[in-house]
Amino acid sequence: MSYQLISVSQQAAVTTVSLNRPALHNAFNPELIGELRQALTAIAADTSVRVVILTGTGPSFSAGGDLSWMQASASYTAEQNIADAEHLDAMFALLNSMPQPVIGRINGAALGGGAGLVACCDLAVAVEQAKFGFTEVKLGLIPAVIAQYVVPKIGVSQSRALFISGERFSAERAFEIGLIHAITSEDELDQTVGFLVERMLSGGPQAMAQAKKLVQAMWEMERSAAKRYAIEAIAQARTGPEGQEGLAAFLNKRKPKW
């Protein structure tokens, strides 16, 4: 499939999705959001894909919302603004619920919605000079759509401080609060991402998909429902084909066949 504002490439079991508006620091507009939704939907259904890498083209990861798009939205009707926000949220929801592990290759600044994309990645590694920020209040706005993905990632205390200040912060702070998982030099970024890819390829694909669902369920469900979900999930995993193969491989001191 051909895209204008993103690029998608697959090498073996790894698919890389790159935001591709470098002149505008990979800022979102409705067209880019639509292309990313389309690509993620196709990738999620492709069982040949074991790992997804999300990155940006050029010096930035993503500057978040395109200012011209946000300016235009000021003249939308209430119904148009609701539909617009739903379109944006659908993109984040897809990324957040991908069955495959998603590795964020954070090659530069990730601001506003760009930082929201980082929060939706399962693992994220950033270059040491990358800057982050939930900068919406500087424009008289709030990080409303991304909040449901950011708050579980970095917690209430950090979310409050960063949402209301709108400050930009370093990769070191992003690491400290759990937004990213590793920091590397620009020269070693691909090597570090490659190491994470190999780690993800060592697990059973269905088991990892279920593990992601498990974490989400623990966050969203009431305590009693979460407990029941966890009990049933492990019971199914133990008797499923991957569970059986994984245990057999461990006992026979061989690599599992997946």
Confidence at 238, pLDDT banded by 50, 70, 90? low
Note the pLDDT of residue 252: 87
Asked if residues 84 and 30 have their Cβ atoms less than 8 Å apart, the reply is yes
Q: What is the pLDDT of residue 20?
A: 98
181 pLDDT more than 90? yes
> Tell me, what's the pLDDT at 197?
98
> What are the structure tokens assigned to 14, written together?
């790894």
Q: Taking a C-beta distance cutoff of 8 angstroms, is the pair 51, 121 a contact?
A: no
Spatial distance between the Cα atoms of 221 and 233, rounded to a whole number of angstroms: 14
The pLDDT, as a whole number, for residue 226 is 63
Least confident of 58-72, 94-108, 219-233: 219-233
How far apart (Å, rounded) are the C-alpha atoms in residues 24 and 242? 44
Calculate the average pLDDT of the chain.
93
Q: Which amino acid is at 257?
A: K
d(CA 62, CA 121) in angstroms, rounded, equals: 14
Which residue type is seen at 187? D
Q: What is the mean pLDDT of residues 127-143?
A: 94
Of 82, 121, 127, 84, the residue nearest 106 (C-alpha): 127
Going by pLDDT thresholds of 50, 70 and 90, the confidence category of residue 91 is very high
Closest CA to 102 of 142, 153, 151, 145: 153
Q: Where are the domains of the chain?
A: 6-201, 205-251
What would the mean pLDDT of 189-215 be, rounded to a whole number? 96
Using the predicted structure, report yes or no on whether residue 143 has a pLDDT greater than 70: yes
Can you give the pTM of this predicted structure?
A: 0.90
Class of domain 6-201: alpha beta
CA pair distance 4, 20, nearest whole angstrom? 8
Span 47-70, average pLDDT: 96
**Nearest by Cα to 209 from 42, 103, 55, 51:** 51
So what's the pLDDT on residue 134?
97
Q: In the chain, what percentage of residues exceed pLDDT 90?
A: 73
DSSP letters for 207-219: HHHHHHHHHHHHH
pLDDT at 65 over 70: yes
Alpha carbon distance 173, 180 (integer Å): 9
Q: Which amino acid is at 91?
A: M
Is the confidence at residue 196, as pLDDT, over 70?
Answer: yes
Average pLDDT over residues 53-67: 97
pLDDT surpassing 80 at residue 101 = yes
What's the pLDDT tens digit per position in 18-46?
999 999 999 999 999 999 999 999 999 99
State residue 234's pLDDT score: 66
